[in-house]
A = this chain, B = another copy of it.
Amino acid sequence: MTQHRYLLTEDRIPERWYNIAADLPTPMPPPLAPDGSPISPDMLSAIFPMELIMQEVSQDRFIPIPDPVREMLALWRPTPLYRAVNWEKALGTNCRIFYKYEGVSPAGSHKPNTSVPQAYYNAQAGVKRLSTETGAGQWGSSLSMACQLFGIECKVYMVRVSYDSKPYRRLMMETWGGECVASPSMDTNSGRAILEKDPNSTGSLGVAISEAVEDAATRDDTNYSLGSVLNHVLLHQTVIGQEAIEQMKMAGAEPDVVIGCAGGGSNFAGISFPFLAEKFAGKEIRVLAAEPAACPTLTRGHYGYDFGDVAGLTPLLPMHTLGHSFMPAAIHAGGLRYHGMAPLVSHLVNTGLVEARAYHQGECFAAAINFSRTEGIIPAPESSHAIRAVEQEVEQAREEGVSRTILFNLSGHGNFDMAAYEAYLSGQMTDYELPQSELDEAAAELQGMPAVGG
């Protein structure tokens, strides 16, 4: 029997997170205050607990994972690593394809890897309530679950278009005791301002972030929590790659290519950063980020300072961006519809350590369906971008006449995204290529911003 699955027992949950900041060949540009001045940890303490702020700025290579966090992660971790035996056969390839499957978490994606420690550190700091935004709902449900596990409240601002089209995700939050409102909402100044201009606004992640940050900044009992982009969030996801390294050893294999989809960058960082540590140490590994052609931050965006949200409430972050007022097309991979990209991932792409490619959603769904018909699991639309990238790598290996070992992160399942599959299967799905004019608008918006390294 060909082995499909490589499992680790819960005592093998990593005992520390890997902080790639300690190993970067060239240092990261710092975040800046909105006026361009340096930002200090103090400025963040209105909305984050000190432990997370220290992680955000840490240069330590490893940061210990507290025992109560590991205990909660053990509800589903370590996650399995699979060899895609059936899919390989269907592709007719001599490449070996492995995938790390994060969909086994109760919320169905990698997101609880960071919601659990974030809820824990906030509860430890005496915070009673967390506010956050969510796009497709994966993050909002993950934070609702984690808050419930540590006994604190959770308020989620959910992008209106998803709130309306994905009621099950909202219900999941409520089942776990979270409160979920459609964003823009009447609960915040940011939300009210947008609804005043456009009562039918379908919202965006940038808008929802503004609302959640405002909520936390204006309430003493409340902190803010973000599901991607920031250094400490990416840090928490490195349990994925650390486990995968152990599991690839069990399989007697080393990846030539490591692939993840990238929206804000957290699942991509989770699978790839521990392998990048091996690359820094001399191993030959290519690392590839797969993003949507409709929101091509890494492949076509500007690299510079920009706000993380629409209202300009966040610090300025050095990142690939399509402009903070960019409104992405309504593609089905809601988790990839973000105007920016994690500064760490942006820096790695900018310095040539990570490759990036953009894919249309149609080709991604076609790939995901082939995958599901051989491996069983129906992938999340976000993860389908990684699957499409794997197909391309397989094709390229075939053309070059070589066999490669490919590892990708299957960041979540598509149980809550079946409407997207219907759109594809019924021929109603359209591809969307970002026109140059929108990039020009973004460039104009970013002209006043400080330059990276400037």
Contact = CB atoms under 8 A, between A and B. Distances in A.
Given A9-B7, A108-B415, A2 B71 contact: yes
A168 B415 contact: yes
Contacts of A76: 376
A328 interface: no
Interface string A164-179: 0001100110111100
A2 B375 CA distance: 33
B416 A145 contact: no
A319 interface: no
A9 B172 CA distance: 31
Each complex incorporates copies of this chain amounting to: 2
B74 A1 contact: yes
Interface residues of A, number: 48
A175 B378 contact: yes
Interface in A255-273: none
Contact of A149 (B2, B7, B177, B374): B374
A75 interface: yes
Interface string A347-374: 0000000000000000000000100111
A106 B87 CA distance: 15
A425 B175 CA distance: 8
A246 interface: no
Given A9-B7, A71-B1, A425 B376 contact: no
A95 interface: no
Contacts of A148: 373
A377 B106 contact: yes
Interface in A158-209: 167-168, 171-172, 174-177
Contacts of A174: 421-422, 425
- Which residue of A4, A112, A421 has the most chain B CB atoms within 10 A of its CB atom? A4
A394 to B, nearest CB: 20
A369 B172 CA distance: 11
A149 B376 contact: yes
B10 A378 contact: no
Contact of A145 (B3, B75, B108, B376): B376
- Which residue of A70, A86, A174, A415 has the most chain B CB atoms within 10 A of its CB atom? A415
19 contacts: A1-B11, A1-B70, A1-B74, A4-B75, A5-B9, A75-B375, A76-B376, A106-B376, A106-B377, A106-B378, A167-B422, A168-B415, A168-B418, A168-B419, A171-B425, A174-B425, A175-B378, A176-B373, A415-B416
Given A4-B74, A168-B419, A171-B422, 20 more contacts: A1-B11, A1-B74, A4-B71, A4-B75, A5-B74, A7-B7, A75-B376, A86-B149, A106-B372, A106-B375, A108-B415, A112-B376, A149-B373, A167-B418, A167-B419, A171-B419, A171-B425, A175-B369, A175-B418, A177-B373
Interface of A: 1-5, 7, 9-11, 67, 70-71, 74-76, 86, 104-108, 112, 145, 148-149, 167-168, 171-172, 174-177, 369, 372-378, 415-416, 418-419, 421-422, 425
